[in-house]
Amino acid sequence: MADGWFGAVAERVLPRIGEVLVAFHAAHAVVDSRVMREPLLSLVGQHGSLTEAELTVPMLHLPAARPA
């Protein structure tokens, strides 16, 4: 958090961020095979961390709908 990797972090979400973070520059992933089921380990949809494709994912923010 001190290096700004997460931007502004609300106090309530701090417990969800682990003590150790791994950020790759290549097409690799770290998983805990003790808790990940085998079919999930082969999915292409793993996050790429610091790859160009992962860093440039667009974000769409929609305001909450107002009741009619």
- Per-residue model confidence as pLDDT tens digits over 29-47: 777 878 888 887 777 666 6
| Residue 60: exposure state from Cβ atoms within 10 A (0-12, 13-18, ≥19) | exposed
What pLDDT band is residue 66 in, cutting at 50, 70 and 90? confident
Q: Is 62 helix (H, G, I), strand (E, B) or coil?
A: coil
The pLDDT of residue 22 is 77
